[in-house]
Structure 1
């Protein structure tokens, strides 16, 4: 879907032309962008993330802006849902007071209110600039400008926002209200109107790795493409252009330092420790909101762990537990079934639901050795692998001591089976339901052993 020049000008006339930071810092050579994606109401680290941003801005020595590439909210977080994202909105309010802040609309911004116009209006009221290429299907207008411009460190930064066109990932009551163009096609037709010579170019794409590969190929050298939606951590170089993903669930703060237009940004990642001190802006609010909205059942313990489990460890543990429970050779489960890892000590129901986001039925299939090898080759993409080999959606698996056989039994959750073309990269698998078993109960029981 092509945005007409008149429509694009209408979108970008609302370009939030951020003022240059005042004083000596505005004269510094270069600037820094703090890049975040897929926060998903991660209250276990949100206060710590804000504290890290505040500290960095205070000591950077360069002008700093914060860019959030979609999915601030998470409907599956019962506290966020019941409070209407009270903590998230406080986080955004505090950010806007610390540094210029831009949010590209993802597929979860309407988790608590179906109308994205309400999100844009409220964000603008607290000083956050919203960008998006999503169109309101009700009247054909834009929900927000397609791009924004910042003046930082003596440079102009032009920032475009692209959404995912995977409509089934948006809340059901939002879907009839939105029209989302194909990401790569939109970028090819519209970015030349957004990006001009002599400026730094940034694309916030919440479309995922597969369309991002096409977008990357069309960008001017020296651009920065920030990916999201797939909850990955990666950095890929193409000339002076950089393509990065910044993780999810407030686990990382990624910093891009740009010293001159057209030159490759320097990328730094800072891990956010859930045990670190919280920002004063959220230190009292987070426990108060949790206490007000969590029930005794949700604060009950699911299991006690001697050591924390990382995100990847949690995903592979779940896949192994599924396989062991049904006697399958290998278990598979989609990576975005998980938000974050599990903490050491008592794991509450609330913690557990942040780790394993979705429940579901178990589905099994029989595959030959060649098919299993092909599936395993594209599993566990949370490690280093070439960009051209990435599939976006991927499966966690923990195959151990596989016997040499002609056929194998695999098990997955129903979401993985329904979306086998995306997760398994094939449509020739025949799954049947394993009766009377659910993913969350299986994994919880395994944690207790």
Structure 2
């Protein structure tokens, strides 16, 4: 699908694109580098560092650059984001658009700050970003934006298609009544064959998650680059010349996919972003200003202290263990995307704590026999090198991960995991009961105070 006129600011001519990347047209290497971002979630602790890393990559580039953002710029759980209207987030997106063409696939958090997605699309286009989505506005019966576009970068032409998640419960409640979201696999089957080119460079940006993406992959022409999101995973899956990548979340890393030309497999490089690394000064100043203006004394209050920084996985496993210990369960469980980032070293403010432990929740318990527990544990702790066929998308961390000789076990988890037991535990027959007068965030903070 060709670009509409209003998207022209974002998709520049090949000469302009080369100029943006700081590369004389006659000296550029063939192909294109795609800088892939996803699931940023207002990660102010690393957003300026991410921008600096992207700037450095583009300034040193030997071929044209395109930035692909696969959804979820905002995070309503970040109180500074909501109080400032996403001032730093919009500054970040605008800065990206000045570096290279940006193509943005709408995720489920784009309406976090303004519940009308049409307003996000309008504002993003205003800073020079091309927005794609297959989500339909119920009020008009029309898509919020085109679901596909083409982009010429001099030596190559990219065909890009985009789709979102139909997990309606993950969108802000006021937004849901405005959305008509196709089932991802059905939409892909009906639309991708006519959108993608058998002899071209094809890119599919999916914010639907691993489970539907796995069913979509066999439909794609060999050599397609498929970009996943929503599940906050880091992975590279090879299928012939097709590559399927997830690039993590919370600005922890970004991915560079180098495409030499049609029919060639993308070369994938994933680059970590350090929390205390070199930062883009202008954005760092914006973030400092909004933090100073919008953080209250309560937000700045210290709720825990850590001896060392913890990764997301370490924080999640600590939480699962704390749940089990608090309620006397044999094993604790907690969902992967219940966490944004890991805990910093030293004093942990309430603001930083809420970036790690994203959601409040009740605590639930159930009793299971040994064989049921064994089946559940096979699905857990998918943050390692897990085959695509075994992935469930969002997953449970479980601690401990070894069991004894008991016939039955008491398990405990947060209420979101219990409510969505089919997705997380793989079964509907778990009889959870609430542990009274106990909430997740206070439980974890208490456990941290004892370390």
Give the structure-1-normalised TM-score.
0.96
CA 1:359–1:350 in 2, change beyond 3 Å: closer, same or farther?
A: same
Count of paired positions? 441
8 Å CA contact 2:311–2:342 kept in 1: the answer is: yes
Alignment match, 2:12: 18
Q: Give the superposition deviation at 1:393.
A: 2.0
Alignment match, 1:239: 240
Q: Give the superposition deviation at 1:440.
A: 0.6
Q: Give the superposition deviation at 1:283.
A: 1.9
Larger mean CA deviation between 228-237 and 274-283 belongs to 274-283
Alignment match, 1:178: 179
Report the Cα distance in structure 1 between the residues aligned to 2:210 and 2:57, rounded to whole angstroms.
29
CA 1:272–1:325 in 2, change beyond 3 Å: closer, same or farther?
A: same
Report the Cα distance in structure 2 between the residues aligned to 1:259 and 1:313, rounded to whole angstroms.
38
Q: Deviations over 1:388-415 (max 9, x none)?
A: 1111121011116633100000001111
8 Å CA contact 1:14–1:145 kept in 2: the answer is: no
CA 1:64–1:418 in 2, change beyond 3 Å: closer, same or farther?
A: same
**Does 1:123 pair with 2:153?**
no
Report the Cα distance in structure 2 between the residues aligned to 1:414 and 1:274, rounded to whole angstroms.
31
Q: Deviations over 1:32-75 (max 9, x none)?
A: 00111100000000000000000000001111111110100000
Report the Cα distance in structure 1 between the residues aligned to 2:402 and 2:106, rounded to whole angstroms.
44
Alignment match, 2:227: 226
Report the Cα distance in structure 1 between the residues aligned to 2:67 and 2:422, rounded to whole angstroms.
35
Alignment match, 2:216: 215
**Does 1:35 pair with 2:36?**
yes
Alignment match, 2:388: 387
Q: Give the superposition deviation at 1:149.
A: 1.8
Instruction: Give SS of 1:423's match.
Output: helix
Q: Give the superposition deviation at 1:303.
A: 1.6
Larger mean CA deviation between 174-183 and 141-150 belongs to 141-150
8 Å CA contact 1:335–1:396 kept in 2: the answer is: yes
Report the Cα distance in structure 2 between the residues aligned to 1:280 and 1:198, rounded to whole angstroms.
43
Alignment match, 2:107: 106
8 Å CA contact 1:94–1:281 kept in 2: the answer is: no
Alignment match, 2:137: 136
Q: Deviations over 1:16-47 (max 9, x none)?
A: 54321246347421110011110000000000
**Does 1:73 pair with 2:74?**
yes
Report the Cα distance in structure 1 between the residues aligned to 2:213 and 2:366, rounded to whole angstroms.
32
Q: Give the superposition deviation at 1:10.
A: 9.0
Report the Cα distance in structure 2 between the residues aligned to 1:13 and 1:426, rounded to whole angstroms.
49
Unmatched 5+ stretches in structure 2: none
Report the Cα distance in structure 1 between the residues aligned to 2:197 and 2:433, rounded to whole angstroms.
54
Instruction: Give SS of 2:190's match.
Output: helix
Give the structure-2-normalised TM-score.
0.95
8 Å CA contact 1:28–1:154 kept in 2: the answer is: no
8 Å CA contact 2:204–2:226 kept in 1: the answer is: yes
Alignment match, 1:263: 264
Instruction: Give SS of 2:393's match.
Output: coil
Instruction: Give SS of 1:202's match.
Output: strand
Report the Cα distance in structure 1 between the residues aligned to 2:30 and 2:198, rounded to whole angstroms.
19
CA 1:316–1:13 in 2, change beyond 3 Å: closer, same or farther?
A: same
Alignment match, 1:356: 357
Alignment match, 2:413: 412
Q: Deviations over 1:99-155 (max 9, x none)?
A: 111110000000011111100000001001100000111111110111122222510
Alignment match, 1:169: 170
Report the Cα distance in structure 2 between the residues aligned to 1:413 and 1:349, rounded to whole angstroms.
20
Instruction: Give SS of 1:370's match.
Output: helix
CA 1:235–1:401 in 2, change beyond 3 Å: closer, same or farther?
A: closer
Q: Give the superposition deviation at 1:305.
A: 1.3
Report the Cα distance in structure 2 between the residues aligned to 1:392 and 1:180, rounded to whole angstroms.
19
8 Å CA contact 1:62–1:153 kept in 2: the answer is: no
CA 1:62–1:10 in 2, change beyond 3 Å: closer, same or farther?
A: closer
Q: Give the superposition deviation at 1:253.
A: 1.0
Q: Give the superposition deviation at 1:197.
A: 4.0
